[in-house]
Amino acid sequence: MISRRAFARRLGAAAAATRMLPEMAYAQRAAVDLAGLPPDMVWLNANENPLGPPAVSQVAMREMIPACNRYHYQEFGEMYAAVARSEGLSPAQTVVGAGSSEVLHTAVDAFTSATRPLIAVAPTFEGPAEVARALGRPVVLTKMREDYSADVRKLAEEADKAHGGLIYLCNPNNPTSTITNRADLDWLVNNLPANTTLVVDEAYIHFAETPEIESALSYVRQGKDVIVARTFSKIYGMAGLRVGFAAAKPEIAARLAALRINVISIVSARAVVAALADRENILRPRRASFSRTRRELCAWLRERGLKFIEPNANFAMIDCGRNAREFIGAMPRLGVAPGRPFPPLDNLLRVTIGTDAEMAKFRDVFWKVYKG
């Protein structure tokens, strides 16, 4: 098995050679000096789930391995149907891809052009903007509000100015862990300018507890020009299996499906079907345990008088009181890797919520660096 460090060393070449390696490529840029890191390194840099794939998925994957000599194309219909059913959609309203990265990629390709930009807030998940740039499509980034929420009116104004395009809204947002509330989302959907499609990236929605957030799936069901991107990488703990999906009305879904590359791995497909069959038993305890660990982190930060953005996902942004690069550079040598820098939020450090033991180590190391 390749070690994470050896893998990371190879990453420079890989990132240069591929079109898109979202968190992996970004982790590479996190100014982490990989030489001489402790062997028991705690990785809290890529919003991964330390719980891993659910036990039922692991069993299903193991059972599948000996039969991997076949393509299994005939089985994918069942998997697509299971994904669609899990959200009360029809297979014609869903497109499964290699992670949500692939369906976001297809959305950018299909709904931006040389004149119709990708429009997003800054900072947000960079994947869609990077794809747009690689395809030679314009990218317009708008300022967030003071409370780090997306200014939906600005997003719509920019789409109007460009006579259309694709608005990318990450809800909850990576890296700020803030939400776009239901009133703002509703306003945006109902005020989309002509030739404008909205893609709402709900990679982290399972971690949000506030009643102020609502999935945009209801707008898909109403037939609006809305795409919802979901992933099995986060709460399901399957980032390495590469499964995500888009939900959209059939006309939009067909345009996305035409641009996807192929089916996913049958091993990953089996893992997803197994997880969806036991969905609530997986999601409920995972959500509860993440929330508890997140609450403990927030309580600790409050006790020490440290400022942070109230988190709504499996990561939090902490105000270091000085440039966060100092922490990003120093913490890995002490055994904890936090997130990369997120300019212009220079004083904020993103930390993924790990296990209780990992978070205890994070607090210890963070405090050491904070105290200097």
Ligand X SMILES: Cc1ncc(COP(=O)(O)O)c(C=O)c1O
How remote is the C-alpha of 261 from its chain's centroid? 20
DSSP SS3 for 107 = helix
With CB under 6 A as the contact rule, the residue among 25, 118, 155, 239 that binds ligand X is 239
Instruction: State which of positions 123-162 bind ligand X (CB under 6 A).
Output: 125, 127
Residue 237 contacts ligand X per CB under 6 A:
no
With CB under 6 A as the contact rule, the residue among 106, 215, 233, 314 that binds ligand X is 233
Residue 22 contacts ligand X per CB under 6 A:
yes
Residues recorded for the chain: 372
Q: Which of 128, 157, 160 is nearest to 143 (CA)?
A: 157
What does the block give as tokens for 269? Answer: 């497909």
With CB under 6 A as the contact rule, the residue among 231, 268, 312, 314 that binds ligand X is 231
Residue 171 contacts ligand X per CB under 6 A:
no
* Number of shown-chain residues binding ligand X (CB under 6 A): 16
Residue 27 contacts ligand X per CB under 6 A:
no
Within 10 angstroms of residue 353's Cβ, the number of other Cβ atoms is 27
The torsion angles phi and psi of 198, rounded to 5 degrees, stand at: -110, 130
The piece of 52-60, 69-77, 95-103, 332-340 that touches ligand X (CB under 6 A) is: 95-103
DSSP state of 310: P
Give the separation between CA 310 and CA 290, rounded to whole angstroms: 14
In whole angstroms, the minimum distance from the beta carbon of 26 to ligand X comes to: 8
**Alpha-carbon torsion 214, 219, 225, 231, what sign?**
positive
Residue 101 contacts ligand X per CB under 6 A:
yes
In whole angstroms, the minimum distance from the beta carbon of 127 to ligand X comes to: 6
Q: Which of 173, 185, 196, 128 is nearest to 311 (CA)?
A: 173
CB of 206 or CB of 369, closer to ligand X: 206
In whole angstroms, the minimum distance from the beta carbon of 234 to ligand X comes to: 7
In whole angstroms, the minimum distance from the beta carbon of 321 to ligand X comes to: 26
CB of 25 or CB of 140, closer to ligand X: 25
With CB under 6 A as the contact rule, the residue among 28, 57, 100, 112 that binds ligand X is 100
The piece of 29-37, 59-67, 93-101, 258-266 that touches ligand X (CB under 6 A) is: 93-101
Q: Which of 226, 232, 246 is nearest to 84 (CA)?
A: 246
Residue 174 contacts ligand X per CB under 6 A:
yes
Instruction: State which of positions 345-364 bind ligand X (CB under 6 A).
Output: none
Give the separation between CA 335 and CA 71, rounded to whole angstroms: 42
Residue 45 contacts ligand X per CB under 6 A:
no
Residue 332 contacts ligand X per CB under 6 A:
no
Give the separation between CA 324 and CA 327, rounded to whole angstroms: 5
What does the block give as tokens for 149? Answer: 């929420």
With CB under 6 A as the contact rule, the residue among 54, 117, 244, 354 that binds ligand X is 244
Q: Which of 212, 219, 145 is nearest to 181 (CA)?
A: 212
CB 96 within 8 A of CB 289: no
Residue 170 contacts ligand X per CB under 6 A:
yes
The residue at minimum Cβ distance from ligand X is 99
What is the chain's Cα-based Rg?
20
Residues that bind ligand X (CB under 6 A): 22-23, 47, 99-101, 125, 127, 170, 174, 201, 203, 231, 233, 239, 244
